[in-house]
A and B are shown apart, each in its own frame.
Chain A
Amino acid sequence: MSRTALTSNNSGGAAPPLARGGAPSPSHLRQAARSSGSALIVVAALVVIWEVVAVAMVAAEVPSAETKLSAPHLIAQRIVDEAPLIADNLRVTATGALIGLLGGVVIGVAVALVIAQTRFLESAVYPYIIGGQMIPTIALAPIILVATRNPTLTRFLVATSITFFAVSLSTLKGLKSTSHGALELMRSYNASRLQVYRRLRIPGALPFFFAGLKIAAPLAVVGEIVVELTGANSGLGYTILVSQYYGPNYATLFWAAMVITLLLGVLFYTAAVVLERVLTPWQPEFRGQ
C-alpha cells in the first residue's frame, strides 16, 4: 500500500508523474531556484530604494532623518560595530522564541489529538481556547510576569500561548480531514485504532500541521519581542526599547535591532518550510502537480 495513494486527497488516484520517494526532479529544482532568485532580486531592489531615500532625507536635512529611516549601509555598519551586543541579544530572543515554539507545537498537537477524539470535547473546550487567544499579548505578558515572578518562564509561556493556537487549530482540521474512502479501506483491513492513526490520520494531518507551523513560527519571534518590551533586560526587543530612550545617537542601533528581528522571523518561517519539505515530500505541491 503506497502512502501516496492513501494520503493524497487531491489527486484522486492518478499516478504521480515523479518519483515516489520525494526526490525533486531537475525541472522542479530549476523552478525553485527561479522563484527564490526573483525574491532576492526584489529584496535587493527594495534595499537600493531604501538607501537612496535615506541618503536623500539626510541630504535634504529632514529633521531626525536617521531616526525616521536609517540608511542600510549605516545599519550594516552598526551591526558590524555592535556584533557582540547584537549577537548576545539575538541569542536570548532566538532561544526564547524557539523554546516557546516547541512548547506551542507540543501543546497544540496534544490538544488537537485529544479534542479530535469526540465532537463533544471540541465544542466544549474550543470556545475557551479561542477566548484565551483574545487576550492581547501586550497585556498578557505583564500579567504572567506578575503571576510567575520568573522572566524566563514568562517568555516561554507567552511564546507558547501565541503559537499553540495556530498549531492546534490546523492540526485538528488535519485530523478531521482524513478521506472517508481511506478510512473505510483501513476498516476493511481490520486495522486497529493505533494503526489508523499511525498510517493514515497523522500523515494526513501533517500538511495541515505545517500550515499552522508556518504561521506560528514567526509569531513566536513576535511574542518574544513583546515580552522583551514589557519588563525584560535582554533580547532584541529590549535593545529596541533602550535605543529609543537614549536618543538619536542610537537610531541606527534601533534599526539594526529591528532588521535582525525581521531576519530572525524570516529564518523561523524558512525553517518551517524546509522542515515541511523534508518531512512531507509527497505533498502534491512538491511534486510539481
Chain B
Amino acid sequence: MRSGRSRVVFLLFLAIVLAACGGDGDGDGGDVSGEEVERATVRFQASWIPDCQFAGYLMADAQGIYDEANLDVEILPGGPNVNPTQQVVSGAADVTVNKVGALLAARDQGLPVVGIAQFDRSSSFPLVAYKDSGIATPEDLEGKEVGIWYDGDEYEVLALLDQAGLDPETDVELFEQGFTMDPFLARKYDVAMVTSFNEINVLRLEGVDPDTELNVIDPSEYGIAIPHGTVIANEEWLEAEPDAAARFVGATIEGWQYAFANKEETAAVCAESALAAGGEAATDELEQLQVLMLDEMERLHLPEGFPESDHGKIDPEQYQEIADLGLDFGMIKQAADLEAAMDTSVWESATSGS
C-alpha cells in the first residue's frame, strides 16, 4: 500500500467482499433454514452384498446425490458373516437397512436402534415350490421338507404354518439351507425360501421359469409380512445428527427414484459394485440379473396403487401388526414400544423440502 488512504479503501473493499460471501450457502441439500449446512459423514452398512438390492444407496452415491446433500456416505459391504444390526449398535456404522423384525428384535433386547424409514411395502422372502410337486399353499407343506433361512428370516414361515394349522416341529420338516440355489435346482428338496429379488431371478436365468414351473407362496398374500427395507439408525447418532439423518433419507429416496428411472445404468453400477471391478464378461452377465432385481425392488417399494409421495414412509399400523405377530412367535419377548422404536419425523423432514 502506497498511502494510508489506499489501505483504508482496500480494507473497505475486502470487508464488502467478505460480507457478500458470508451471505451465501443456503439452499444446499434442501435445507429450509437458509443457514450453512455442515457436511456430515454417514456410514451405511449394507445388509448383504452391495448389489441392486441397495440400488438407491449406490446410485445416490454414484450420482453425487449424497454429495449435494452435504453428506459423505461410506457404504460398508455386508455378507453372510456380517450382522448389520450389530454393526449399528456397536457404532461401526451409523445406519443400516434390514427387516422390520430385526428392528423390533433388537429393541426387545434393549439395543439402542431406531427405525427412520421403511422402503419395502411387502415381504420379499417367499417360499417357492416346483409345480409338479403339487405344493401350492401353506397347507400343502404338511410332511414336506422345506429349506429356509434362520437368524430372523423364519418368522414369516412360522406364522404361515400356524395359520394353516400346522406345527412346525412335528408337521413339517424345516431345515436350514445355505444361500446357494444348487441343492434346490438339483431337486434335493421341493420347497425353498428365496428372496423375491435375487434367488427367484437366479432360478429364472437358470431356466426354471417361476411363472410356469414354480408355485410361489408369498407371506404377504396371507396377510403375514415382515418386509425388508427398514432403515435402522443408531439412537445416539440420530439424536446427535437428526438433520444428517433426514438428508440421508431424502437423498436415498432420490437415489431410488433415479435407479428406477435408469435401470440399465443402475444395473451396470450395481454389477460393478457386487463383483468389485474388473471383468467385463462377468459384469455383463450380472447386469441382466441386476435389471430383474431392480424390477422387483420397484414392485416392493412402489406397488400398484401406492402413492409415490409416500415412498419410504413408515406405516405404524403395519409395524403394530408385525409386533403382534412377533410376540406370538417368540421373535420378541415383550410387547413392543413402537413409539420408541420408530421415528417418523425423519422421513417427514426428509420429504417436506421436495
* Residue contact B180 to A81, C-beta cutoff 8 Å: no
* Residue contact A138 to B277, C-beta cutoff 8 Å: no
Which chain A residues lie closer than 8 Å to B82 at the CB level? 142, 230-231
Chain A residue nearest to B50 (CB atoms) is: A233
* Residue contact B90 to A245, C-beta cutoff 8 Å: no
Contact digits for B45-81, partner A, Cβ 8 Å, 1 yes 0 no: 0000110000000000000000000000000111111
* Residue contact B49 to A64, C-beta cutoff 8 Å: no
- Give the docked Cα–Cα distance between A270 and B185 (Å): 41
* Residue contact B182 to A67, C-beta cutoff 8 Å: yes
* Residue contact A247 to B86, C-beta cutoff 8 Å: no
Q: With A89-B278, A146-B92, A233-B276 known to touch, is A246 a contact of B79 (CB < 8 Å)?
A: no
Interface positions of A from 198 to 248, Cβ below 8 Å from B: 229-235, 238-239, 241-242, 244-248
* Residue contact B180 to A82, C-beta cutoff 8 Å: no
Q: With A88-B278, A89-B278, A149-B92 known to touch, is A231 a contact of B79 (CB < 8 Å)?
A: yes
Which chain B residues lie closer than 8 Å to A244 at the CB level? 179-180
A-B contact pairs, 12 of them (CB 8 A): A64-B186, A81-B282, A82-B279, A82-B282, A83-B279, A142-B81, A146-B86, A233-B49, A234-B276, A244-B180, A246-B198, A247-B203
- Give the docked Cα–Cα distance between A253 and B278 (Å): 13
Report A's interface with B, CB cutoff 8 A.
63-64, 67, 81-89, 138, 141-142, 145-146, 149, 229-235, 238-239, 241-242, 244-250, 253
Interface positions of B from 253 to 295, Cβ below 8 Å from A: 273-283, 285-286, 289
* Residue contact A248 to B282, C-beta cutoff 8 Å: no
The smallest C-beta distance from B148 to any residue of chain A, in angstroms, reads: 17
Judged by DSSP, the binding face of A is helix
- Give the docked Cα–Cα distance between A172 and B214 (Å): 63
The smallest C-beta distance from A259 to any residue of chain B, in angstroms, reads: 16
Which chain B residues lie closer than 8 Å to A235 at the CB level? 276
Contact digits for B10-53, partner A, Cβ 8 Å, 1 yes 0 no: 00000000000000000000000000000000010000011000
Question: A85 touches which one: B180, B185, B198, B278 (CB < 8 A)?
Answer: B278
- Give the docked Cα–Cα distance between A231 and B280 (Å): 24
Chain B residue nearest to A238 (CB atoms) is: B276
Q: With A142-B82, A231-B76 known to touch, is A247 a contact of B206 (CB < 8 Å)?
A: yes
Interface positions of B from 80 to 103, Cβ below 8 Å from A: 80-83, 86-87, 90, 92
- Give the docked Cα–Cα distance between A83 and B274 (Å): 17
Chain A residue nearest to B201 (CB atoms) is: A247
- Among A146, A232, A247, A249, chain B packs the most CB atoms within 10 A around the CB of A247
The smallest C-beta distance from B210 to any residue of chain A, in angstroms, reads: 14
* Residue contact B281 to A82, C-beta cutoff 8 Å: yes
Chain A residue nearest to B183 (CB atoms) is: A64
- Apart from A83-B279, A241-B49, A246-B198, what are 17 other A-B pairs with CB-CB below 8 Å? A81-B281, A85-B276, A88-B277, A146-B87, A229-B79, A229-B81, A231-B77, A231-B78, A231-B81, A232-B77, A241-B79, A244-B179, A245-B49, A246-B286, A247-B205, A247-B206, A248-B206
Report B's interface with A, CB cutoff 8 A.
43, 49-50, 76-83, 86-87, 90, 92, 179-183, 185-187, 198-199, 202-203, 205-206, 273-283, 285-286, 289
- Give the docked Cα–Cα distance between A193 and B90 (Å): 49
Which chain A residues lie closer than 8 Å to B182 at the CB level? 64, 67, 248
Chain B residue nearest to A150 (CB atoms) is: B92
Which chain A residues lie closer than 8 Å to B181 at the CB level? 247-248
Which chain B residues lie closer than 8 Å to A85 at the CB level? 275-279, 282-283
The smallest C-beta distance from B122 to any residue of chain A, in angstroms, reads: 23
Chain A residue nearest to B81 (CB atoms) is: A230
- Give the docked Cα–Cα distance between A228 and B87 (Å): 17
Which chain B residues lie closer than 8 Å to A86 at the CB level? 278-279
Which chain A residues lie closer than 8 Å to B78 at the CB level? 231
The smallest C-beta distance from A254 to any residue of chain B, in angstroms, reads: 9
Question: B180 touches which one: A145, A234, A245 (CB < 8 A)?
Answer: A245
* Residue contact B185 to A248, C-beta cutoff 8 Å: yes
- Give the docked Cα–Cα distance between A82 and B282 (Å): 7
Chain A residue nearest to B281 (CB atoms) is: A81
* Residue contact A239 to B276, C-beta cutoff 8 Å: yes
Chain A residue nearest to B276 (CB atoms) is: A234
* Residue contact A84 to B80, C-beta cutoff 8 Å: no
Which chain A residues lie closer than 8 Å to B281 at the CB level? 81-82
Which chain B residues lie closer than 8 Å to A229 at the CB level? 79-81
Question: B186 touches which one: A63, A83, A239 (CB < 8 A)?
Answer: A63
- Give the docked Cα–Cα distance between A58 and B92 (Å): 46
Q: With A234-B276, A234-B277 known to touch, is A241 a contact of B80 (CB < 8 Å)?
A: yes
- Give the docked Cα–Cα distance between A76 and B281 (Å): 14
* Residue contact B276 to A89, C-beta cutoff 8 Å: yes
* Residue contact B202 to A64, C-beta cutoff 8 Å: no
Question: B185 touches which one: A63, A88, A234 (CB < 8 A)?
Answer: A63
Which chain B residues lie closer than 8 Å to A63 at the CB level? 185-187
Which chain A residues lie closer than 8 Å to B80 at the CB level? 229, 241
Chain A residue nearest to B186 (CB atoms) is: A63
* Residue contact A245 to B179, C-beta cutoff 8 Å: yes
Which chain A residues lie closer than 8 Å to B77 at the CB level? 231-233, 238
Chain B residue nearest to A81 (CB atoms) is: B281
Which chain A residues lie closer than 8 Å to B187 at the CB level? 63
Which chain A residues lie closer than 8 Å to B203 at the CB level? 247
Which chain B residues lie closer than 8 Å to A233 at the CB level? 49-50, 77, 273, 276
- Among B83, B179, B186, B289, chain A packs the most CB atoms within 10 A around the CB of B186
Which chain A residues lie closer than 8 Å to B180 at the CB level? 67, 244-245, 247
Q: With A145-B92, A231-B82 known to touch, is A249 a contact of B285 (CB < 8 Å)?
A: yes
Chain A residue nearest to B77 (CB atoms) is: A233
Chain B residue nearest to A68 (CB atoms) is: B182
Which chain B residues lie closer than 8 Å to A149 at the CB level? 43, 92
* Residue contact B86 to A250, C-beta cutoff 8 Å: no
Chain B residue nearest to A139 (CB atoms) is: B81
